[in-house]
């Protein structure tokens, strides 16, 4: 709710503002509640730094020089370049997380697990004689970082893309708002049970995930043993990238792959249906473990925002849909105006 109060302040002034920090804070606090068992205040300097370090590292990781480091680490190790900033940012992030983990260890209660960190500490305790299991404080710090980063930037940037598309296609925004009014009304907050009655909104969120194409070449993985896929031999140690973008834009799968077209997810009766080629979360054993959480967050944030506000571009500006980045895509910075409904 604090998030919407902040936006409401802007609606009173009417002036354009960049919604990035507010959305980022809100998304970070959802995963933060699960991992650390608490929300962080929007004015908490340590928390703001943490978010900025994470954002900067993701943007830098997409630069050509950082990608060269990934290919020739032995060569670039001694050279200046963005990889050094990325390493120093992650060192600071891990330092912050270790402090949180130490705090958790101090007041850990075996009968009351408050969050992910507590539950992991219990696992370390249970398996202290089984070194091979890999449950240790070092792994806890890196798993916490993985969850926090993967769960924050993805949802933030999808919501930012959703705002851009709503500004660009105001008729779609109106249709979502009509559905919100019909199903939820304007007085009570949306809840997950509303989703089933809101096929158009669901279609808009899915289409946003498709066109946003956040991780076009997926996360790099490494073959842990020799294997054969589709007749191709892949030796152990090969780095693999699956091209999610090719599926999300496949001309044989989508009627209008290059357009924002929520009807991709609606049948002739206006009912929502999931498409086989919808793979923004990847597939298989290593697919995104946060998909369900992401869907919940996107639905609740998106409907809550459009229930309370109408979003429009800053005067004289057009929404820029072209993304920035390469490994992970995000919208370029933009401003919005909000009007209370």
Nearest in space to 260 (alpha carbons), one of 319, 219, 195, 311:
319
Binding pattern to ligand HEM, positions 212-251, x when CB under 6 A? --xx--xx-x------------------------------
* Interatomic CA distance for residues 339 and 306, integer angstroms: 10
158, 173, 177, 208: residue in contact with ligand HEM (rule CB under 6 A): 158
- Are the C-beta atoms of residues 10 and 338 closer than 8 Å to each other? yes
With CB under 6 A as the contact rule, which of the stretches 61-69, 116-124, 152-160, 190-198 interacts with ligand HEM? 152-160
Structure letter (DSSP) for residue 251: T
Q: How many CB atoms lie within 10 A of CB 104?
A: 20
Give the list of residues 6+ apart from residue 144 with CB closer than 8 angstroms, or none: 35, 97, 100, 101, 116, 117, 120
**20-36 helix and 45-61 helix, angle to the nearest 10 degrees:** 110
* Residue 30 Cβ vs ligand HEM, minimum distance, rounded to whole Å: 8
* Interatomic CA distance for residues 79 and 186, integer angstroms: 57
Q: Does 280 bind ligand HEM (CB under 6 A)?
A: yes
* Residue 334 Cβ vs ligand HEM, minimum distance, rounded to whole Å: 18
* Closer residue to ligand HEM (CB): 10 or 90: 90
293, 300, 320, 321: residue in contact with ligand HEM (rule CB under 6 A): 293
Query: How many angstroms separate the first and last alpha carbons of the chain?
Result: 17
With CB under 6 A as the contact rule, which of the stretches 48-56, 115-123, 151-159, 173-181 interacts with ligand HEM? 151-159
* Residue 43 Cβ vs ligand HEM, minimum distance, rounded to whole Å: 24
Task: Using DSSP, state whether 135 is helix, strand or coil.
Answer: coil
Q: Does 155 bind ligand HEM (CB under 6 A)?
A: yes
Cβ-proximal residue to ligand HEM, closest one: 290
The residues of the shown chain that bind ligand HEM, judged by CB under 6 A, are 31, 146-147, 150-151, 154-155, 158, 214-215, 218-219, 221, 280-282, 286-290, 293-294
């Amino acid at each position: 709710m604090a998030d919407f109060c902040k936006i409401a302040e802007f609606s009173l002034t009417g002036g354009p503002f960049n919604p990035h920090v507010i959305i980022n804070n809100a998304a970070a606090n959802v995963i933060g509640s699960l991992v650390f068992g608490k929300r962080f205040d929007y004015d908490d300097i340590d928390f703001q730094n943490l978010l900025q370090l994470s954002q900067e590292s993701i943007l830098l990781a997409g630069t050509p020089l950082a990608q060269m480091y990934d290919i020739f680490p032995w060569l670039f190790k001694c050279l200046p370049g963005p990889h050094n900033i990325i390493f120093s940012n992650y060192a600071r992030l891990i330092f912050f997380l270790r402090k949180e983990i130490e705090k958790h260890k101090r007041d850990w209660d075996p009968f009351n697990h408050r969050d992910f960190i507590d539950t992991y500490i219990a696992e370390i305790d249970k398996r202290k004689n089984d070194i091979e299991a890999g449950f240790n404080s070092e792994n806890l710090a890196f798993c916490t970082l993985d969850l926090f980063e993967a769960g924050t930037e993805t949802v933030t940037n999808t919501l930012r893309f959703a705002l851009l598309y709503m500004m660009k296609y105001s008729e779609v925004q109106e249709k979502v708002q009509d559905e919100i009014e019909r199903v939820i009304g304007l007085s009570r907050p949306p809840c997950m049970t509303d989703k089933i009655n809101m096929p158009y909104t669901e279609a808009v969120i899915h289409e946003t995930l498709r066109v946003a194409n956040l991780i076009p070449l997926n996360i790099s993985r490494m073959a842990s043993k020799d294997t054969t896929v589709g007749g191709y031999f892949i030796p152990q140690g090969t780095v693999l990238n699956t091209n999610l973008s090719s599926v999300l834009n496949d001309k044989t799968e989508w009627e209008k792959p290059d357009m924002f077209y929520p009807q991709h997810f609606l049948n002739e009766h206006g009912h929502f249906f999931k498409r086989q080629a919808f793979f923004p979360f990847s597939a298989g054993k290593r697919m995104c473990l946060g998909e369900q959480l992401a869907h919940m967050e996107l639905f609740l944030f998106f409907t809550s925002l459009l229930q309370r506000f109408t979003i429009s571009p800053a005067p004289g500006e057009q929404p820029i849909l072209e993304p920035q980045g390469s490994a992970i895509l995000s919208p370029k910075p933009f401003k919005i105006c909000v009007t209370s409904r």
